[in-house]
Structures are given as C-alpha cells and as structure tokens.
C-alpha cells in the first residue's frame, strides 16, 4: 500500500528544505515529505570547500538543526528514487516502498561527472558532492602528499585551491580546453590558470 503525501520533494538541499518550509507555512495541515539518498540534515554545499581547506569546522556546515523536520512535521526518507510514475502520481523507492503524491518537486541538484578511463575504480579515486565524500577525503589526507584534481568547473577549482591551502602538492587536470567553459572565454580561462600556477598548483 503506497503512503499518501500531499507534497513530495526529491532532494534535501537548500532548495528542497526551503520549499518544504514554505509549503508548511502556506499549508499547515498538509502532509509534506522529503526523499534524499543523503541521510544527513541539510547543509551548505558552498561551505564544503572551506571545510576541506580546514577553515571551518563541521558544525558550521549545517543549514538547519536536525530537529527541524520533526518540528515542521516534515517526513524525511533517506532512500534513493527508483522510478517516478507521473500518470499514477507514484514514486517507487529503491527500498521498494511506494509513495503516492499530490504534487511533486524535483530539487535533487546535479550529480558529479565520473571518470570513464581505466583505473577510475581504484581505491583513492573519488568524486566530491556530499559531506560524507569530504569526510572520506579528510580521513585520507594525513598519509597523502600529492593529489590530482580532475574537472573544469568551479568545484574542481575550489577543491584544488582548498587542498593547496593544506600544503599538499596539487595537479589540476582539465576535462575541456578551458576552465568553466560555459561562462569563461579562452582569455579569462587563461587568467584563472595563471592564478593557479602562481598558487603552486
């Protein structure tokens, strides 16, 4: 039997939790649910780079207190979405649980691009997106001297800078000819690369 939810939100980032808070204010008696495969309370993703660099403590990452969900009567399900049946208004979770919704909001954000080359599945090769990802990196750092960062976006730039701030030798490999190719032209990208070189990357 599928659980009935008036408003179902997929994603537990700032967009998802803000939507849930707004819905609760506008519809005090509605049932509101959030589904996310990250079991942690909502946190500030932009602060993760400073957490990696050692500039902020983990306590400063959290955007809302853990008890917010209970206080706001928001059902939080730590699960992964398997499928969405839009005609039936049903979300199937990987745990095989079904949720029947009235309205659905997708606020799940982006997924990191993974390497497809040989060796990408070796130990020590990882993507960065969640607090758990950053915690795993920080646990490995004491025995590490050199790090390779792959990517052409802002996350790769911030990661390279954060690891360099910790005194590590950092190599930054670009996926594209330019950095942040959707925004920067070749001249601007070259200026950013020069800044990285001056920083010792």
Tell me the two tokens of residue 57: 């403590």
* 138 and 98 in a common domain: no
Q: What is the pLDDT of residue 52?
A: 94
Domain assignment present for residue 116? The answer is no
Distance CA 81, CA 98 (A): 10
Q: Does 27 lie in the same domain as 100? A: yes
Of 47, 71, 106, the residue that ends a domain is: 106
Q: Which long-range contacts (CB under 8 A, 24 or more apart) does 146-155 make?
A: 146/170, 146/171, 147/171, 148/172, 148/173, 149/173, 150/115, 150/175, 151/113, 151/175, 152/176, 152/178, 152/179, 152/180, 152/181, 153/179, 153/180, 154/180, 155/49, 155/112, 155/128
Does residue 74 sit in the same domain as residue 168?
Answer: no
Both 12 and 83 in one domain: the answer is yes
Q: Which domain holds residue 152?
A: 131-198
* 130 secondary structure, DSSP code: S
In a domain, 17, yes or no: yes
Mean pLDDT of the chain: 93
What's the total number of domains in the chain?
A: 2
- CATH code assigned at 176: 3.50.50.60
Domain assignment of residue 114, yes or no: no
Domain stop point among 106, 121, 156: 106
Residue 1 pLDDT: 64
One domain, residues 77 and 137: no
| Structure tokens, 100 | 């029947």
Note whether 102 and 155 are same-domain residues: no
Whole-model pTM: value is: 0.84
Let me know if residue 44 belongs to a domain: yes
State pLDDT tens for residues 136-183.
999 999 989 999 999 998 899 999 999 999 999 999 999 888 888 888
Contact 105, 7 (CB under 8 A): yes
> What does the pLDDT read at residue 22?
97
My answer on whether 26 and 73 are in the same domain is yes
- Shared domain check, 140 and 89: no
Q: Same structural domain for residues 23 and 76?
A: yes
Residues (pLDDT < 50) of the chain are: none
Residue 9, pLDDT score: 98
């Amino acid at each position: 039997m599928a659980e009935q939810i008036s408003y179902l939100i997929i994603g537990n980032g700032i967009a998802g939790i803000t939507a849930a808070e707004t819905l609760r204010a506008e519809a005090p008696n509605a049932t509101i649910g959030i589904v996310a495969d990250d079991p942690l309370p909502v946190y500030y993703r932009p602060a993760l780079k400073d957490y990696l660099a050692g500039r902020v403590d983990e306590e400063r990452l959290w955007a809302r207190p853990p008890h917010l969900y209970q206080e706001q009567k928001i059902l939080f399900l730590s699960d992964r979405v398997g499928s969405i049946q839009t005609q039936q208004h049903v979300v199937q979770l990987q745990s095989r649980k079904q949720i029947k919704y009235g309205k659905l909001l997708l606020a799940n954000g982006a997924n990191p691009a993974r390497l497809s080359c040989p060796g990408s599945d070796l130990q020590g090769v990882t993507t960065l997106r969640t607090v758990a990802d950053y915690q795993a990196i920080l646990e490995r750092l004491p025995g590490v001297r050199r790090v390779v960062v792959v990517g052409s976006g802002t996350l790769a730039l911030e990661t390279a800078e954060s690891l360099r701030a910790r005194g590590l030798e950092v190599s930054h490999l670009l996926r594209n000819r330019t950095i942040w190719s959707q925004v920067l032209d070749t001249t601007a990208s070259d200026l950013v690369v020069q800044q990285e070189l001056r920083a010792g990357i």
